[in-house]
Amino acid sequence: MTHENQKIARIANALLEYFLSNDAKGLTLSISEDTKSAYISLEISDITLSSHESEELIEHLYMERQEEMEEYYWHLLGNDSETEEISLIGMMVDEATVQYNYPVMKIDLVRHF
Amino acid sequence: MAALAKKQHQQNKYRKRNFYLIQMFPIFIIALANTMDSPQNIFDGFRKMIFSSDILITDYVELAGLSATLINASLLFMAISFLAYRLQIKLNGMLIAAIFMTVGFSFFGKNIFNVIPLYLGGYIYSKIQKVDFKNIFVIIIFSSALAPVVSEIAFGLSLPLYYSIPASILFGAFCGFIITPLSANTIAIHDGFNLYNVGFSAGLIALVINSIFKTLGINLKPSQILSTEHSLFFFVMLCLLFTLFIVVGFTLSKLSFKETLKKYTRIFHYSGKLITDFTQLEGYGITYINMGIMGFIALLFVCLTGGLDSLNGPIVGAIFSIFGFSAFGNHPKNSIPIFVGVYLCSLLHLWDANSTTYIVAGLFATALAPIAGRYGIIAGLFVSFLHLAVVTNLHTVHGGLNLYSNGFSCGLIASIVYPIFNIFSPSHKKRKV
């Protein structure tokens, strides 16, 4: 639970930064938590990604959680980066769901404490 | 629920099998080492190794003998892999890099005595911060960069042992305690462009300790103990290891040669910047193939710089480090520009290009491979020159107390150059996954 709030804030920030850099419009972010998990949800009303880009986005977000490395790398989230940043988000969450029906995208992330 | 329990049982079974399988490697090396020397000589070698100050560069092969050095490397390998197994840590790129870097430095600076206080400090940090020890274990493995601090205080200051040994344990534990939070912060300074990030944070700690020593009138003398006798043995050993990894990687990939090659070239798209874990991104098969190929490229570099006849502990250690980090960032596309840069610098005759110091600095310059991976070949050539200029002058700063001196240099350079390169890089305007 160390720095848990900062980690959730960084995940949300990195997601926002990534989509804003990709000219996304109409972003709605919500964060909630219960005793066991934090839930981050992002809805985008207008985003254009090629099929290759959306596939890679899903691939990186669906990466297995890597708790063993978290204390080392979480400070990197939110800095300027490209491929690696989305992988980092994937490594910091337990569940990820991405739904993309052009131009609308919905991302749900769950991080267990 | 039953399905989950079955899956966990299956995973534990594989983990156990892999653990036993991986132990075959050090057991074979220990058996081999025992056939090459007498038990008495090995024991004497160990004694010399443990009671030396271990300041850079102390080649254990020369100091303690080949057999004692190989046994030291094997014991450290077994100890780390046992702890990782007990803590149920997944075998990911970072753990592979940490294990092989430790094995590499067990040829010149790390031994079973001087790493323990650092682990102890890390354990105390995890208890005080209420963090699971397994979540910081890999950083603690890297923290043994400061092992010479323990050895120097224990045996290098000519103090009575009943004072110096407890003091060295306390100092080492303190270093192990502070390295985790410090490393987490230093990684943000260079934004992950220095692969040896703990070398950067360890360098800062060593700088402070050396300054305190100097203030107290203690001036650490640089060490230059190097072996040249066992080049052929090391060459054959490394070639066998790299070939084995390529063969195992190819077998694990379960693809045809053409398909494997196509999948392998995918890793060239990654800049290598922290965190690029090839085991997660491309699987174990491709990772092991990359490790083997990078090992051969490092050997080729040593050959081109004329170091093949003098393969010693530090050069072998540096090759092992590249080998390990090829699971965690290094690949031919981002590393070859660095090697070429170092080789071109040798033509300037500014440094003694055949010396161990130059070759080792050249090999470790690959910590800056993410710069070449992100900003291109010219950037890679440029930072390799900067690294050689900086690292050859760093010894006076940390007094040889930081084994990852090259990581310190690469951290400084990456922190300075990446914001500047970002100004000219068009890629930062629009992100791509």
Nearest to B191 among A18, A81, A91 (CB): A81
Please state, in angstroms and as integers, the Cα–Cα distance from residue A94 to each residue in A109, B59, B364, following that order.
8, 45, 35
Whether the complex's predicted ipTM is more than 0.90 is answered with no
Q: Do B41 and B186 reside in the same domain of the chain?
A: yes
Substitution target in A16, A61, A81 with the highest count of B β-carbons within 10 Å is A81
Number of structural domains chain A divides into: 1
Confidence of residue B1 (pLDDT cuts 50, 70, 90): very low
pLDDT of B242 higher than 70: yes
CB contact under 8 A, A88 and B132: no
Token representation of residue B289: 């193939």
Q: Which residue range(s) make up the domain with B316? A: 231-428
Q: Do B241 and B296 reside in the same domain of the chain?
A: yes
Q: Which residue range(s) make up the domain with A47? A: 4-112
Closest approach of B60 to chain A, Cα-based (Å): 31
Q: Show residues of chain B in contact with A91, CB under 8 Å.
A: 275, 277, 280
CB contact under 8 A, B275 and A73: yes
Provide the pLDDT for residue B325.
96
Nearest to A80 among B95, B191, B432 (CB): B191
Q: Do B235 and B202 reside in the same domain of the chain?
A: no
Substitution target in A6, A53, A82 with the highest count of B β-carbons within 10 Å is A82
pLDDT of B222 higher than 80: no
Residue A103: asked if its preceding bond is cis (omega within 30°), the reply is yes
Number of structural domains chain B divides into: 2
Helix (H, G, I), strand (E, B) or coil at A30: strand
Q: Do B41 and B147 reside in the same domain of the chain?
A: yes
Residue A34 sits in a domain whose CATH number is 3.30.565
Provide the pLDDT for residue B379.
95
Neighbours of B283 (CB within 10 A): 15
Whether residue B303 is contained in a domain is answered as yes
pLDDT of B8 higher than 70: no
Last residue of a domain, one of B166, B187, B215: B215
Provide the pLDDT for residue B4.
46
The string of pLDDT tens digits covering residues B365-413 is: 999 999 999 999 999 999 999 999 999 888 888 888 999 999 999 999 9
Confidence of residue A80 (pLDDT cuts 50, 70, 90): low
The string of pLDDT tens digits covering residues B119-174 is: 999 999 999 998 889 989 999 999 999 999 999 999 988 889 999 999 999 999 99
Last residue of a domain, one of B180, B215, B250: B215
Whether residue B2 is contained in a domain is answered as no
Q: What is the mean pLDDT of residues B219-244?
A: 88
B76-80, B167-171, B218-222, B321-325, range with the lowest pLDDT: B218-222
Q: What is the mean pLDDT of residues B241-253?
A: 92
Provide the pLDDT for residue B13.
64
